[in-house]
Amino acid sequence: MSITENDINQLATDYKDKSPQDILTLALETVDNIAISFSGAEDIVLVDMASKIKKDFQVFTLDTGRLHPETYRFMDQVREKYGIQIEAMCPNADQIEKFIKEKGYFSFYQDDHKECCSVRKIGPLRRKLETLDGWITGQRRDQSPGTRTNVPVVQVDAAFAGPNGQLTKFNPLANWSSEQVWAYIRANDVPFNSLHEQGFISIGCEPCTRPVLPNQHEREGRWWWEEATAKECGLHAETNKS
Amino acid sequence: MKITLVKKIKADGSPCQKCQDISDRLEASDQMKLIDQIIIADESDPASEGMLLASELSVDRAPFFVVEHDDGQKEVFTVYFKFVKQVLNQITSEEEELAEIMNDNPDLDYI
**pLDDT tens sequence for chain B (111 residues):** 999 999 999 999 998 988 998 999 999 999 999 999 999 999 999 999 999 999 999 888 899 999 999 999 899 998 888 899 889 988 888 888 898 899 888 888 888
pLDDT value at position A50? Answer: 98
Q: What is the ipTM of this complex?
A: 0.82
> Which residues in chain A are contacts of B101 at CB distance < 8 A?
118, 122, 126, 159-160
Determine contact, residues B48/B41, Cβ cutoff 8 Å.
Answer: yes
Dihedral over Cα of A66, A157, A10, A234: its sign: positive
Strand segments, DSSP code E, in B35-104 are 37-42, 64-68, 74-77
Binary contact (B59, A159; C-beta < 8 A):
no
Cα–Cα distance measured from residue A198 to residue A200, given in angstroms and rounded to the nearest whole number? 6
A205 flagged as catalytic: no
Sheet containing strand A58-62, strands side by side: A87-89, A58-62, A34-37, A134-136, A168-170, A154-156
SS3 A26: helix
Tell me if chain B has a CB within 8 Å of the CB of A119: yes
CB contact under 8 A, A233 and B11: no
Sort out which chain A residues have CB atoms less than 8 A from B14's CB and list them: none
Give contacts of B51 with chain A, Cβ < 8 Å.
Answer: 235, 237
Are A117 and B102 a contacting pair at CB < 8 A? yes
Domain residue limits at B6: 2-110
Residues 6+ apart with CB under 8 A from A3: A30, A31, A134, A166, A168
Three-state SS at A11 = helix
Report the residue of A233, A239, A242 to disrupt the B interface, i.e. the one with the largest count of B CBs within 10 Å: A233
Q: What is the CATH number of the domain that holds B44?
A: 3.40.30
A5-240 maps to CATH 3.30.70.3000: no
Closest CA to A139 of A124, A127, A157, A123: A157
CB contact at 8 A, A157 and A129: yes
The number of distinct structural domains making up chain B is: 1
Residue of A nearest to B100 (CA): A118
The pTM for the full model equals: 0.83
Per-residue pLDDT of chain A (242 residues; tens, 9 = 90+): 568 888 998 999 999 999 999 999 999 999 999 999 999 888 999 999 999 998 899 999 999 999 999 999 999 999 999 999 999 999 999 999 999 999 999 999 998 899 999 999 999 999 999 999 999 999 998 887 666 667 899 999 988 988 888 899 999 999 999 999 999 999 999 999 999 999 999 899 999 999 999 888 888 898 998 865 444 566 666 644 33
The CA distance from A92 to A94, in Å, is 6
Beta strand pairing call for A134-136 and A87-89: unpaired
